[in-house]
């Protein structure tokens, strides 16, 4: 599995880059953030996912491990392949996508090219269920009920977990933001992410 490539940019067109590394050229279909970064810096690093099919291999590139993790979650959804996954991540950053999934915003997801209403509903249903059914260590299950987190902040916690953070980390960050009097879900997630980094 090729999980990471660092190299010089030889060519770039329509979201696809050709990166040179040790005399080899890797053709990679990138998310918009990874593509922009590589083009602006004339190369650099990219986290990759290798798709193996009967008719060949395809490489997909991401700006960060968090973006790659979101992509891996997206392609587990029925009807969402790697091309659509890259398309979704090129239309929304991972923060916006997590907010859309957590707040069941079908409308926002269905505006993405190639992602109709039914696919958007499936993404929300399957990813929220997947995140909610994470095998949490004893003591963390039902933590939000114990600390009295409201449903909007529960959505924020789910969104952060979708990005790969643990339930415990997500809950602590959301509680910290809540103590500052921030209530709008987009602002809660955005501020909580700053505390995570």
CA dihedral 25, 31, 33, 36 (to 10 degrees): 40
Residue with tokens 């990813």: 127
User: Tokens in use for 88?
Assistant: 């979704």
User: 130: pLDDT confidence band, cut at 50, 70 and 90?
Assistant: low
Taking the CB of residue 60, how many other CB atoms lie within 10 A of it? 23
Question: How far is 75 from 131, CA to CA, in rounded Å?
Answer: 15
For residues 77 and 127, state if they share a domain: yes
Q: Is 109 exposed, middle or buried (0-12, 13-18, 19+ CB in 10 A)?
A: buried
Q: Which residue has the tokens 């500052």?
A: 180
Contact 75, 87 (CB under 8 A): no
Write the CB contacts of 177 (distance below 8 Å, at least 6 apart in sequence): 156, 187, 188, 191, 192, 195
| Residue 94: closest CA among 69, 117, 120, 58 | 69
Specify the CATH number for the domain of residue 185: 1.10.8
pTM score over 0.85:
no
Q: Are residues 58 and 44 in the same domain?
A: yes
- Note whether 12 and 25 are same-domain residues: yes
Identify which of 39, 44, 51, 46 has the alpha carbon closest to the alpha carbon of residue 11.
Answer: 39
Q: Is 106 a member of any domain? A: yes
Q: Does a structural domain hold residue 137?
A: no
Which DSSP symbol is given to 142? Answer: T
Please give the share of the chain, as a percent, with pLDDT higher than 70. 87
Domain boundary among 100, 132, 164: 132
> Is 138 contained in some domain?
no
Total domains in the fold of the chain: 3
| Residue 46 domain flag | yes
Read off the CATH number of the domain in which 126 is found. Answer: 1.10.150.20
Range of the domain at 190: 143-196
Boundary (domain end) residue, out of 39, 62, 85: 62
Same domain flag for 126 and 153: no
Q: Is 21 left (phi over 0), alpha (psi -120 to 50) or beta?
A: beta
Residue 192 lies in a domain: yes
Query: Could you tell me if 53 and 71 lie in one domain?
Result: no
Range ranked top by mean pLDDT from 59-63, 109-113, 158-162: 59-63
What confidence tens digit (pLDDT) does each residue in 35-80 have?
999 999 999 999 999 999 888 899 999 999 888 988 999 999 988 9
């Amino acid at each position: 599995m090729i999980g990471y490539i660092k190299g010089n940019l030889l060519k770039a067109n329509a979201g696809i880059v050709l990166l040179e590394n040790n005399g080899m050229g890797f053709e990679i279909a990138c998310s918009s953030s990874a593509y922009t970064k590589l083009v602006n810096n004339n190369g650099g690093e990219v986290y990759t996912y290798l798709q193996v099919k009967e008719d060949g291999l395809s490489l997909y590139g991401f700006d960060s491990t968090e973006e790659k993790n979101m992509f891996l979650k997206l392609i587990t959804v029925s009807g969402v392949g790697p091309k659509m996954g890259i398309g979704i991540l090129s239309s929304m950053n991972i923060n916006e996508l997590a907010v859309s999934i957590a707040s069941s915003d079908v409308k926002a997801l269905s505006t993405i090219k190639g992602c109709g209403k039914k696919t958007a509903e499936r993404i929300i249903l399957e990813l929220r269920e997947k995140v909610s059914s994470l095998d949490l260590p004893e003591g963390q299950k039902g933590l939000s009920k114990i600390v009295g987190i409201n449903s909007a902040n529960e959505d924020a916690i789910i969104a952060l977990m979708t990005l790969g953070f643990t339930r415990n980390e997500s809950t602590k960050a959301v509680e910290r933001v809540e103590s500052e009097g921030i209530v709008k879900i987009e602002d809660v997630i955005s501020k909580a992410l700053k505390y995570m980094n």
